[in-house]
Every structure is written in C-alpha cells, then in structure tokens.
Structure 1
Amino acid sequence: MKVRLTQAAKQLGVHPDTLRRWANADKIKVAGTTPGGQRLFDLNEIAQAIKSPTNRILVQDKPTVAYARVSSHDQKDDLKRQVECLQLYCSSQGWNFEVIEDLGSGMNYNKKGLKKLIKSLCNQEIGRLVITHKDRLLRFGSELIFSICEHVGSEVVVINSSEESTYEEDLTRDVLEIITVFNARLYGSRSHKNKKIVQALKDAADEVCK
C-alpha cells in the first residue's frame, strides 16, 4: 500500500522529519510520487526494512531519552501519567531509555531538564527523543528542538501526534500560559491573589474547551 509521507510516518510511529531524513539519505526507498510531486512510500516495504536485524535505520548505540513536562506543582498527577505512558511505550519497543522530568512553563527555555536535553542533543549523545505531545517540549519553539534532532541525526517520536487540538483550545492554553507567567512575576507564585486569578482563567479555559 502506497501512502504519503505524513501517513507513513504516523503508521510507523516516527516523526515526519525522521522519515523525510531517511528518504533523503536513501535509507528508505521512495515508492513513487503523487501528481503534485509528493513522495509516496510502501508501508509493507518500510515495515520489513525496519524489522530486519541487519538494517541500521533504527538500530542505534545511543540511548533513547523520553521527556515529560508540566507547568506547575499541582499537575504532578499529569506528570506521573506522562512518565508512565513514556515508560510503557519505550519498554514495548525494547529501547534502552532514560526519562527526563521537567517542571515549568512551556515558554520557559531555562528549565533544568530542557537544558540537559539540549546539551545532550548537541553533544550527539541521544539516538532518539520520545515525547507524548509536541507542546511538552515548548509551547512555542518545539520545531527548534526538532531541527536540532534532525541536524545531529536523532530520531523524534511523538506518541500522540495524531491528537490535534482545536484553534480555540490552543489559543486558550497559550493565553493562559502568558498570563500565568506575568501574573506570577507581579504577585509572587505563592500569592493568594495570583492563585485566584489563575484558577479563574483555568475555569474559563475549561468552559471554552467543552
């Protein structure tokens, strides 16, 4: 069965940029093109190539790193679910992996875990990066991390890449992130007034997303 690049990547559980990189390096055979010039891939052929013990596409000496993040301490349950999901997925694939947990806003580029991840990527110490959703890396700028991965040859796996949110949901989360950051700076992250405002915004966000 011949499918387009995005569909082939989804079926194989890899990021489209990873499959694109394999095709550009002739590690994966292109099965044809659409009338518009988009590349087509044979799912059966790709699956057999990846399963082959002599194929070096996915057989890497470098470890897999799974990254989980939440914005605040009251989301610890969500962080736990992310970690469990990442552990289960990586274990099911038979990968040697490490989980990096982070706490902080998706707009904060100075988080301890994120800095560790970027440093390891730049040092070419990571063979594969696994995340549950794209925005677990950063609210704005995940593509920058993906570009680094592509540059150093690290595979990217987004487990729930097919779960797309609506425009209203994305906008609400982005506005909430921005207000939360500035509100914390103005009033102090432990301020009772700050907590009341953030809770009101969360309630409003829930109403929009219903």
Structure 2
Amino acid sequence: MFRRLNEVDTIIVEYPDRLARFGYNYLKEFAKSLNVSIEAVEQNKKLGPNEEMVNDLISIVSCFSARLYGARGERKKKKTNNELEKERQVQNINENNNESNIDKSKRQTEINN
C-alpha cells in the first residue's frame, strides 16, 4: 500500500478504523510526511483517551485470539488426517495379509488336488 504512496495526493476512507484498527494517527502522520492527506468520510464519535485505549486493546486481543483458535483448528485437522492415514495403512496391511492368506489356501488346495 505504501510503495506507491508518492503517486497519491489523498486517501479517502469511510471510517478511520477501516484503514487501521489501531495506530491510525501514526499512519496519518506518516502520510502527512509524504504530503498525502488521509480523509475519513464518516467520523465516529469522539472517545476519551481511556475509552480509545480500551477499544484498541480489545481489538488486539480479538485479533490474536482469532489467530490462536485458527491455529488450534489447523492442528485438529492435521491430527485427524494423520489418524485417518494410519487407519488406511492398517487396513491396507490387513487386506494384503488377507490376500496372502487366500493365496496360501489356494496353493494348499492345488497341492492337495
């Protein structure tokens, strides 16, 4: 996004938190240093510093907990896939053993006849 920022004069967003959940003011100052203005079409109600910090912390915790739960889901998928693969291998071994037993019994029958 910032690679070609020198080609832009203005960045327009609907709400400031659509550009960044937290650290919006840092982005705005960075853009200003490159002579780019950031304009928000809709302004949220003005929050006090404590309320703003609480909202930022909630956003951070929500983001990281979503990543954590997503990672746990991926681990469960891998575990399930590994278990299924082991079951398939055991089933293949059993089928091979059954086939070899059938072959042995056919041979025995042929020898006896």
Class of the TM-score when normalised by the shorter of the 2 chains:
0.3 to 0.5
Which protein has greater RCO, CA pairs closer than 8 Å, 6+ apart? 2
TM-score of the superposition, structure 2-length normalised?
0.47
TM-score of the superposition, structure 1-length normalised?
0.28
Indicate the structure with greater strand content.
1
